[in-house]
Structure 1
């Protein structure tokens, strides 16, 4: 070949290769958009519940179906167009018991395989809850992000989004670069927080700033249930109101306070403050300020609603003229990790003559799993009578299975969590029975079963603090200290492995060291 032509040929090959590298995102030449993966597993797992969570509970989504979780990444959204997105696997489960090791390894293996097949990446959006417990492990999220790092490499910018009831171990803090969590409880800002994690990631990639220079991590020895730390009331309201001001400081990328998860017995279970950014002084002072403010108000946290024993709660409801009067059956709350099938409260309710006397107060109980009764209800149909055992298949520590007899007033199939639902009328009570456990949060959860909670005297729900729809619907409300795997009386649970001293279990403890621990960047981390 002519030397000149050969030189031109080599130049052409070089240019084509360069275009291929710049266009690895599949966009038009010259756009050079960042390539960002999406992955994550999320669940709250109570180690005080005998329940076990299997793989199917995570309803894992892969490929393009992942985008349905994030309205801010829908096809026509601005953020969707700012990068080439590579969704791998995102699985989210209802809170429950400890995840089996088999389920965890299967889901992690699928995630890593997808990441390996589709790398390289510039960034990764890591969407987790932060309170997942797994058989034989103390820090599953720390393990997961470390194993992801081994696949994607240390240079990839990872932005982590979490629930404020998650746990941030030093390992998780080390292997993430950007990290944030919700600032509201109840979590009305969940999507907003995930969007913030994504936009922080995009901004750092587009600006070329990459990894923040500093990450300050402050463990705060406080362990409180979410029902005592709602941001609707003080002091949580004012405490969390301080977070945006720190996040807005020059040289700070984000700031966050994690309450932590109270119903697992692991060394990582405690509150944490983290601040990330490029100005060391602002990052450190911001983190220490928030941690100090948290510690100052530790004695001020109270339950978000009146709280009492079950008998007193029921007396309040029976004597009230407010409709509906809602009782939170807190100890077996499936949205916090309870098994959801403790029969103690329902057994006590159905003993009461008030609910068997014609013309007495009306009651809705939501809900109790009972696969045997569901099968019978499906056979007999609406209008038929049923008699079968419900509940206590998983958690029978407080009461045995309950024989429930009554008339089927509604049947509904196909709910993602409940499977088949039935309403059984016994006396003045309507009991919602499910094939699998399910929390009842929305008005339509009741109305699509032919129930009208607004015109019912007493509604008992397995929940802690009320989510917005129920909160707005309530006439009266009291939270009952009932037994279960997420008992609100933490002293009764018997933590053995958390780091002590811990407030309020050690109420007279000395003031802790709340100085910032500087976490090294993940690309400098040694193997663990």
Structure 2
């Protein structure tokens, strides 16, 4: 008679929250899925897949929000309360897969993911094995490592291995439960470096080599998994910094692997650079106009909604609209994505495609850098039903095609444009509120520059004036002494937490 399959619950809340944005995130933004629908998020847990057959998987509640502002206390209370209640209704479980991002800031909390996991532990008991999967831009406190048994994160930025990482976390959990051995040893090293994701992309050196070492360490005898977190630069919290965690059955192996990765990251700190050439927005536009490369992409980085920006900063679009080169419809074709403006969208929808309208949009959330923007243009396209934007409108102003949205939306894929009857491949200039270009746009771009613009995810970190992060910290303290990068062996999750939160 075969042994019963282990019962594994799946739960988690994920968002990147900028504390430098005035925006607030409510519960609906997480688009929470519950029960059996949770499992449909993961192709590797589809019926018939080997991993699905290896355990009795039970969806609890998983919600993932577009990066944004701090989560309200009421939203967190509602979502976490429901998650805990649903988990309590499951009965005994053997394992829990904690699917999170790792950079969620909640009003009144400094380590929201660890706080939620502590509540989960109180519900399921100390003997349940927990495996966490995270974004490499998450933050890893000693408390979070203590409360997990296995923990891993993405190894690429942009995150082309997101689903692979989730599958690895689930597979590690199944393997641990099947093996029945002692809990893994966890070696954690906080690294006092805090850099933007655009400075640590694995497309280029030194991050390319720093992260290549992760797979080498993970493949070593006595190691189950290895991970480096860059941390999240746009939240001002004590836990925010880079970190290394290596897990496995052999303390000597995980210690050596963690120290190798931590020293590799620290030693490379001065070599990290932006993934693309940077400059002021006007300078980027000058270069784009002078270049023969088409399409030429410009990243409007300071208000990037996929890093936590409010998305409605009008500063960048205001500068673009003021350029004389784009005043006439026969000028260079420019696509601008995007600017939220619910009233503007409603007015354009009522007017219909082909109508000339005057609308005002933006700066309803983040008006610190420029106020609402009034534009007169021709309605080029209208689209309803987008998961993030809800309704999208394209307004042609001179030779600029401005995408207006009911709610903010990231533009990462070619179809995001072609669905709106726009062709980014034949455009002269494509301006996107983004940091590093996501894979489809990167492959399409003949030229690219990152504009250092203002907003809640300003790439000039020193300009943001963090005051709650642990100091000294590179690059805020460039002449700081070398830190202690010896591995801290963190106690098992069913034992007491020991050691300071360094």
The interval holding the TM-score normalised by the smaller chain is over 0.9
Contact conserved, 1:39 with 1:89, CA < 8 A, in 2?
A: yes
Query: Which one of the candidate residues 476, 497, 506 is aligned to 2:477?
Result: 506
- Tell me the equivalent position of 1:197: 169
- Tell me the equivalent position of 2:18: 46
Give the match's secondary structure for 1:200.
helix
Q: Deviations over 1:177-216 (max 9, x none)?
A: 000000000000000000000000001111212521x111
- Tell me the equivalent position of 1:86: 58
Indicate whether 1:141 and 2:137 are aligned: no
Contact conserved, 2:11 with 2:62, CA < 8 A, in 1?
A: yes
- Tell me the equivalent position of 1:14: none
- Tell me the equivalent position of 1:334: 305
Query: Which one of the candidate residues 87, 102, 110 is aligned to 1:130?
Result: 102
Whole-Å separation in 2 of the counterparts to 1:334 and 1:410: 22
- Tell me the equivalent position of 1:487: 458
Bigger shift: 490-499 or 308-317? 308-317
Q: Deviations over 1:154-195 (max 9, x none)?
A: 100000000000000111010000000000000000000000
Instruction: Map residues 367-516 of structure 1 onto 2, 5 A cutoff.
Output: 367-516=338-487
Whole-Å separation in 2 of the counterparts to 1:525 and 1:36: 24
Give the match's secondary structure for 2:173.
helix
Whole-Å separation in 1 of the counterparts to 2:122 and 2:375: 53
Shift of 1:459: 0.4
Whole-Å separation in 1 of the counterparts to 2:29 and 2:41: 16
Shift of 1:66: 0.8
- Tell me the equivalent position of 1:6: none
Give the match's secondary structure for 1:523.
coil
Supply the RMSD in Å over aligned alpha carbons.
1.1
Contact conserved, 1:157 with 1:210, CA < 8 A, in 2?
A: no
Give the match's secondary structure for 2:260.
helix
Shift of 1:31: 4.0
Contact conserved, 2:334 with 2:427, CA < 8 A, in 1?
A: yes
Instruction: Map residues 234-245 of structure 1 onto 2, 5 A cutoff.
Output: 234-245=205-216
- Tell me the equivalent position of 2:287: 316
Whole-Å separation in 2 of the counterparts to 1:33 and 1:446: 46
**Structure 1, unpaired ranges of 5+:** 1-28
- Tell me the equivalent position of 1:68: 40
Q: Deviations over 1:441-496 (max 9, x none)?
A: 00000001000010000000000000000000001000000000000000000100
Contact conserved, 1:373 with 1:386, CA < 8 A, in 2?
A: no
Give the match's secondary structure for 2:494.
helix
Contact conserved, 1:383 with 1:407, CA < 8 A, in 2?
A: yes
Whole-Å separation in 1 of the counterparts to 2:322 and 2:215: 50
Give the match's secondary structure for 2:157.
coil
Indicate whether 1:300 and 2:256 are aligned: no
The number of equivalent residue pairs is 499
Whole-Å separation in 1 of the counterparts to 2:190 and 2:374: 47
Q: Deviations over 1:410-430 (max 9, x none)?
A: 100010100100000111010
Indicate whether 1:152 and 2:136 are aligned: no
- Tell me the equivalent position of 2:89: 117
Whole-Å separation in 2 of the counterparts to 1:172 and 1:240: 22
Whole-Å separation in 1 of the counterparts to 2:254 and 2:404: 51
Give the match's secondary structure for 1:263.
coil
Contact conserved, 2:146 with 2:497, CA < 8 A, in 1?
A: no
- Tell me the equivalent position of 1:10: none
Shift of 1:359: 2.7
Whole-Å separation in 2 of the counterparts to 1:427 and 1:202: 58
Q: Deviations over 1:16-73 (max 9, x none)?
A: xxxxxxxxxxxxx744000000000000000000000000000000011111210000
Runs of 4+ in 1 over 6 A off after TM superposition: none
Contact conserved, 2:191 with 2:242, CA < 8 A, in 1?
A: yes
- Tell me the equivalent position of 1:16: none
Q: Deviations over 1:131-173 (max 9, x none)?
A: 0000011000010111100001110000000000000011101
**Structure 2, unpaired ranges of 5+:** none
Instruction: Map residues 335-354 of structure 1 onto 2, 5 A cutoff.
Output: 335-354=306-325
Give the match's secondary structure for 1:135.
coil
- Tell me the equivalent position of 1:183: 155
| Structure number with higher helix proportion | 1
User: Normalising to structure 1: TM-score of the pair?
Assistant: 0.93
Indicate whether 1:106 and 2:89 are aligned: no
